[in-house]
């Protein structure tokens, strides 16, 4: 239960009005705080204010009840005596001039008019006594005699002396007394008799609120004489008792009337309905206020517990009439709970019938193990299904697994809740059988599915074949191979091992990874040498090899038709002549030819150029090399000249007193091209400083040009030149000898 603390301020409603204008109210302002001194903002509260006469334990002279809500700062205010929710007595009737007055404050945290939490009693100070100014009457004692008493004269508005009439002070005897039916009943309504003023001491006679008049009549009175007949009295004693009882009844009726009709009206009618949304730890309770009994329903809700005789737990659900629900949580599973709806108004609290529900019992979940999928050499995907949550949340699910069905020591989690779930395992051993089972956990325990198995795919060394060598030259060759099966694992490397002895393949070249065909070009080989080689491929299971095969490099130099050639180790294996056509040594200029002509001329002019057609590549009968050196030779193509430039180191040098460019190939062999210049008309131009050599390829920039190699001391390049000029020719060997 929350404790409540008020910071209270009481103010006079208006202090400076004339007596007849004094308002009958007192300002009340307070701030509500809880037990931790925190402000109770926007909180519904119900308080009871009682004004006591004379002392903190004095007689109740006024009481009112307030139902209100604090503001955002925990503050609330109202005027005592003005528009209370409920009241006992009249505020305007308080005699502020008749002695000290005290204010008692009680708090009801349940909002069910059960003010059993007192916040203390304080004394009014001087301000409220200004109310006395509004009702002061004058006393006129003119003509008073001994024994006279003061009586109020409504005509003069004064208290005046009058003589006492009659003698004695007894109670007149009724000859025909009547008793209300409710006073005759064996079962009386329950009232707060402490609010009845001036009640004589009946402790010896009335011992319980449920006594009947017959019970009282059986007791002795103050003179130890038993009552005989108070319904129809036959003697003075019974008549006095009858009169006393009637007077007591009248006081009770007046007290009930002063309660504002709250007790006399019917309490709300409320029906308890079936519970719903029942889980292992909660449920939704339902009820309906079918009638408010003529008073506003202040609060409604449910009382519940595990015994129909002890509904000690309470949950509130708003106010007013109509259907209402409340969720209860934190319940024990598998337990029967009893509950009833209630509704409270100023007339009291009405209750529905007691009903019951049983929370679901928590069991361990139900889970099944499904087949594994996506099985590889080192992994697999496990599958399971939580088919029943055991009436509570499944907090974890997954798999346990291992290589021994009796020792599943490895565990992986796969979320929570019900339904299908999967988990992918990695890092497994290939070719191995694994055992596994699904599990699911809730507050009731952990359940497991059946044990199932899968076997990872076995890994083998790859399968690889060795292909034939190609593009063989004195210094080069291209090897080939093919990985036809990866062995169920990634091929991380493939290539060739080779050497000049079948028993000593000590040199290795790699050619990528994976499956399929692959090649590798070898360079820097020895000429006229037999090489042995085989393909290889590697995966996690090891390295496999293809069959051993051979190739033989040709000699790096030779002659065809009496003319020498040299293998420069170019990628294409092209062999170049050691001399120009018409020369007998590498440094000699040799003959000059117009493009497409096969014989020399004394003059090279546009007028004596033989051909006007445009063959893309010269035919053999118009090739100066073939025509002069035989079928084993031809003029180089533009592509072959570009290969020479791109793959050789070019050095401007002098041999035998002749300037020229030395082309050194990848294998270290070289050829010397003298700077022979060119012939234009009958003259020799730029010899010793420039060199021009025809290719067999027609230029694409016009019909009068062909491709040729031009160079000087600082540069060398392919260019398009006029076909009628006389250029030198350096052949290439096409013979296989």
Spatial distance between the Cα atoms of 278 and 329, rounded to a whole number of angstroms: 10
Using 50, 70 and 90 to split pLDDT, how confident is the model at 708? very high
- Residue 734: is its pLDDT beyond 90? yes
Higher pLDDT, 82 or 672: 672
| 504 pLDDT more than 80 | yes
Q: How many CA atoms lie within 13 A of 405 on its CB side?
A: 6
Question: Does some domain include residue 156?
Answer: no
pLDDT confidence of 198, banded at 50, 70, 90? very low
For residue 500, give Cα distances in angstroms to 382, 505, 549, 553: 54, 7, 11, 11
Task: Judge contact between 302 and 357, C-beta under 8 A.
Answer: no
Q: What is the pLDDT of residues 235-278, one digit of tens each?
A: 766 766 666 666 666 555 455 444 444 344 699 999 999 999 99
Q: Which pLDDT value is given to residue 211? A: 43
C-alpha dihedral sign at 357, 359, 361, 365: positive
Query: pLDDT grade, residue 201 (50/70/90)?
Result: very low
- Could you report the per-residue pLDDT of 575-596, keeping only the tens digit for each? 999 999 999 999 999 999 999 9
Same domain? For 718 and 650 the reply is yes
Per the structure, the count of domains in the chain is 6
Q: Quick one: average pLDDT of 171-180?
A: 40
- Report the first-to-last Cα separation within the chain, whole angstroms: 115
Q: Which of 210, 228, 258 is the last residue of a domain?
A: 258
Q: State whether 11 and 119 are in the same domain.
A: yes
Whether pLDDT at 174 is above 50: no
Confidence at residue 243, expressed as pLDDT on a 0 to 100 scale: 65
- Residues 248 and 205 occupy one common structural domain: yes
The confidence score (pLDDT) of residue 451 equals 97
**Pair (563, 707) in one structural domain:** yes
Poorest-confidence range of 16-20, 207-211, 333-337, 367-371? 16-20
Helices (H), 636-737: 638-647
- Do 430 and 456 contact (CB within 8 A), yes or no? yes
Q: Strand pairing partners for 652?
A: 661
Q: Are residues 428 and 497 in the same domain?
A: no
Q: Check pLDDT > 60 for residue 724.
A: yes
Q: Which tens digits make up the pLDDT trace of 11-54? A: 433 333 333 445 678 888 888 887 777 888 888 888 899 999 99
- Which pLDDT belongs to residue 45? 83
At 194 the pLDDT is: 42
Q: Is 562 found in the same domain as 523?
A: no
Query: At 429, is the pLDDT very low, low, confident or very high (cuts 50, 70, 90)?
Result: very high
* Residue at 656 is within a domain: yes
Is residue 88 pLDDT above 90, yes or no? no
**Angstrom distance (rounded) from CA 710 to CA 692:** 5
What is the band of 3 on the pLDDT scale with cuts at 50, 70, 90? very low
> Do 679 and 692 touch, CB atoms closer than 8 A?
no
pLDDT at 737 over 90: no
Look at 47-51, 193-197, 509-513 and tell me which has the smallest mean pLDDT.
193-197
Could you tell me if residue 388 is inside a domain? yes
Where does the pLDDT of residue 658 fall: very low under 50, low under 70, confident under 90, or very high at 90 and above? very high
Q: What is the mean pLDDT of residues 85-112?
A: 83
Residues 467 and 519 reside in one and the same domain: yes
User: Which pLDDT does position 521 carry in this prediction?
Assistant: 95
| 227 contacts: CB under 8 Å, gap ≥ 6 | 216, 217, 218, 219, 221, 237, 238, 241
Last residue of a domain, one of 309, 328, 358: 358
What is the pLDDT averaged over residues 616-635? 95
* DSSP code per residue over 346-403: TTEEEE---EEEEPPPP---EEEEEEEES--SS-EEEEEEEEE-TTS---EEEEEEES
Over residues 356-376, the mean pLDDT reads: 96
**152 lies in some domain:** no
- Among 699, 692, 718, smallest CA distance to 614 is for 699
Q: Specify if 176 maps to a domain.
A: no
Mean pLDDT, range 543-560, rounded to an integer: 94
Tell me whether residue 506 is in a domain.
Answer: yes
Nearest to 295 by CA among 262, 264, 271, 269: 262
Chosen domain end from 485, 520, 552? 552
The whole-number pLDDT of residue 93 equals: 86
From 609, 628, 591, select the one nearest 705 (Cα to Cα).
Answer: 609
pLDDT of 688 over the 90 cut: yes
* Secondary structure in 3-state letters for 419-439: EEEEEEECCCCCCCEEEEEEE
Residue 638, classed as helix, strand or coil, is helix
Res. 229: pLDDT tops 80: no
Can you point out the beta strands (E) in 636-688?
649-655, 658-664, 670-674, 678-680, 683-685
Same domain for 547 and 562?
Answer: no
254 backbone φψ class: left, alpha, beta (φ>0; ψ -120 to 50) = alpha
Q: Is 45 exposed, middle or buried (0-12, 13-18, 19+ CB in 10 A)?
A: buried
Domain span including residue 42: 5-134
Same domain, 493 and 416: no
Q: Are residues 433 and 490 both part of a single domain?
A: no
Structure-token match 């038709």, residue found: 561
CATH, residue 306: 2.60.40.10
pLDDT in tens, 130-140: 555 445 444 55
Rounded Cα–Cα distance for residues 564 and 566 (Å):
7
CA atoms within 13 A on the CB side of 658: 19
Residue 410 belongs to a domain: yes
Question: What tens digit of pLDDT does each residue of 290-318 get?
Answer: 999 999 999 999 999 999 999 999 999 99
**Which has the higher per-residue pLDDT, 181 or 649?**
649
Query: Which segment of 146-155, 329-338, 534-543, 717-726 scores lowest on mean pLDDT?
Result: 146-155
Across 147-154, average pLDDT: 61
Question: Which pLDDT tens digit goes with each residue over 431-467?
Answer: 999 999 999 999 999 999 999 999 999 999 999 999 9
Residue 25 or 1, more confident = 25
CA geometry: angle 424, 428, 432, nearest 5 deg:
120
Let me know whether 44 and 16 are in one domain. yes
Q: Say which residue, 55 or 479, is predicted with more confidence.
A: 479
Interstrand relation of 138-139 and 158-162 (parallel, antiparallel or unpaired): parallel
| Residue 172 in domain | no
250 and 289 both lie in a single domain: no
Residue 64 pairs in a beta bridge with 49, 87
Supply the mean pLDDT for the chain: 84
CATH number of the CATH domain containing 37: 2.60.40
């Amino acid at each position: 239960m929350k404790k409540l603390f008020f910071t209270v301020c009481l103010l006079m409603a208006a202090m400076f009005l004339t007596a007849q204008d004094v308002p009958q109210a007192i300002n009340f302002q307070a701030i509500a705080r809880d037990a931790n001194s925190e402000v109770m903002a926007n909180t519904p509260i119900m308080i009871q204010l009682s004004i006591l006469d004379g002392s903190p334990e004095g007689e109740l002279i006024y009481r009112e009840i307030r139902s209100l809500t604090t503001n955002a700062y925990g503050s609330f205010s109202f005027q005592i005596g003005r528009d209370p929710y409920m009241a006992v007595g009249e505020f305007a009737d308080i005699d502020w001039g008749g002695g000290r007055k005290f204010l008692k404050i009680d708090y009801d945290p349940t909002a069910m008019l059960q003010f059993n939490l007192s916040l203390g009693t304080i004394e009014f100070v001087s301000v409220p006594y200004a109310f006395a100014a509004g009702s002061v009457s004058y006393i006129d004692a003119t003509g008073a005699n001994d024994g006279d008493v003061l009586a109020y004269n409504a005509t003069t508005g004064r208290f005046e002396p009058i003589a006492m009439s009659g003698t004695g002070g007894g109670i007149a005897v009724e000859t025909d007394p009547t008793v209300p039916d409710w006073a005759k009943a064996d079962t009386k309504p329950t009232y707060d008799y402490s609010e009845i003023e001036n009640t004589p001491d009946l402790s010896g006679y009335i011992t319980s609120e449920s006594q009947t008049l017959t019970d009282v009549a059986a007791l002795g009175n103050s003179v130890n004489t038993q009552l005989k007949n108070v319904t129809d009295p036959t003697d003075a004693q019974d008549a006095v008792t009858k009169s006393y009882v009637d007077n007591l009844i009248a006081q009770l009726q007046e007290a009930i009337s002063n309660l504002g009709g709250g007790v006399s009206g019917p309490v709300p009618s409320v029906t308890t309905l079936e519970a719903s949304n029942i889980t292992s730890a909660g449920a939704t309770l339902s009820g309906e206020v079918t009638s408010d009994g003529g008073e506003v329903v202040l609060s409604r809700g449910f009382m519940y517990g595990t015994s129909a005789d002890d509904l000690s737990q309470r949950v509130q659900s708003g106010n007013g009439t109509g259907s209402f629900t409340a969720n209860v949580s934190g319940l024990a599973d598998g337990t029967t709970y009893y509950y009833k709806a209630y509704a409270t108004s100023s007339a009291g609290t009405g209750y529905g019938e007691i009903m019951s529900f049983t929370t679901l019992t928590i069991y361990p979940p139900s889970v099944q193990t499904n087949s594994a999928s996506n099985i590889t050499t080192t992994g697999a995907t496990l599958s399971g299904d939580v088919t029943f949550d055991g009436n509570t949340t499944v907090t974890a699910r997954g798999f346990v697994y291992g290589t021994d069905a009796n020792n599943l020591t490895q565990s992986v989690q796969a979320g929570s809740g019900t339904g299908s779930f999967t988990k992918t395992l990695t890092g497994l051993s290939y070719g191995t059988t694994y055992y596994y089972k699904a599990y699911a956990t809730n507050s009731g325990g952990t359940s497991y599915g059946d044990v199932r198995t899968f076997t990872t795919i076995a890994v083998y060394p790859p399968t690889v074949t060795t292909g034939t060598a190609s593009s063989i030259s004195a210094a080069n060759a291209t090897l080939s191979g093919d990985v036809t099966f990866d062995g169920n694992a990634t091929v991380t490397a493939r290539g060739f091992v080779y050497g000049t002895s079948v028993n000593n393949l000590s040199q290795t070249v790699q050619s990528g990874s994976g499956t399929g065909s692959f090649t590798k070009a070898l360079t820097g080989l020895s000429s006229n040498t037999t090489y042995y080689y085989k393909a290889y491929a590697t995966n996690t299971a090891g390295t496999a090899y293809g069959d051993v095969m051979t190739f033989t490099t040709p000699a790096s130099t030779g002659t065809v038709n009496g003319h020498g050639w040299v293998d420069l180790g170019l990628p294409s294996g092209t062999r170049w002549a050691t001399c120009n056509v018409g020369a007998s040594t590498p440094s000699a200029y040799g003959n000059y030819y117009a493009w497409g002509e096969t014989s020399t001329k004394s003059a090279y002019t546009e007028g004596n150029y033989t051909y006007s057609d445009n063959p893309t590549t010269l035919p053999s009968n118009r090739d100066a090399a073939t025509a002069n050196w035989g079928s084993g030779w031809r003029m180089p193509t533009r592509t072959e000249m570009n290969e020479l430039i791109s793959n050789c180191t070019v050095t401007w040098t002098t041999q035998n007193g002749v300037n020229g460019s030395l082309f050194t190939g990848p294998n270290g062999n070289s050829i010397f091209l003298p700077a022979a210049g060119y012939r234009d008309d009958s003259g020799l131009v730029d010899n010793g400083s420039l060199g021009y050599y025809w290719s067999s390829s027609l230029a694409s920039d016009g019909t009068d040009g062909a491709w040729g190699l031009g160079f000087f001391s600082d540069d060398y390049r392919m260019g398009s030149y006029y076909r009628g000029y006389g250029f030198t020719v350096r052949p290439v060997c096409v013979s296989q000898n």
